[in-house]
Amino acid sequence: MNWLARLKKVESAPAPTLQKLRNDDQGVSVVFVGACPEPFQKSVSENDTFTARLGLFTDRGLNMDEAEAMAARLVGRDREQDDRRLCLECLHLSGCAGGWRCSRWQMRQINSADIPGDLVTVVMHRCAMFNDRVEAIA
């Protein structure tokens, strides 16, 4: 079967249907039978991204609780398709808490390479120089 025939087969797949299954011990269960909904299809890549971000954030000095909270916040941002970023995610960020620096500060037309801590870990913003560290690793 060639790729076009496979594509037509997928497009003509029946819609999920609601079926009741009887289990004498448990009562009645209701299940959906059909194609896997889109959010479940994305969950594998979301888990991979979450794990990669968790590693990046702990490498950059956040404790595990802070890193998990930040990674979860960014998963929500990704689901909402928000295009704002944190410096903490960027490939151009260096340093540690209290001494963050941007290697693209001159291109961003700012006065110093030093970045305030809130901009690194709290404030999401748009930056033309942003380069996703997680995608660069993957």
Other beta carbons less than 10 A from residue 17's beta carbon: 9
CA 42 to chain centre: 10
| For the chain, percent of residues with pLDDT exceeding 90 | 24
Which amino acid is located at 59 in the chain?
D
Condensed to tens digits (0 to 9), the pLDDT of residues 11-32 reads 555 555 555 555 555 555 555 4
pLDDT for res 41: 47
Domain spans, the chain: 3-33, 38-137
> Looking at the predicted structure, is the pLDDT value of residue 89 above 60?
yes
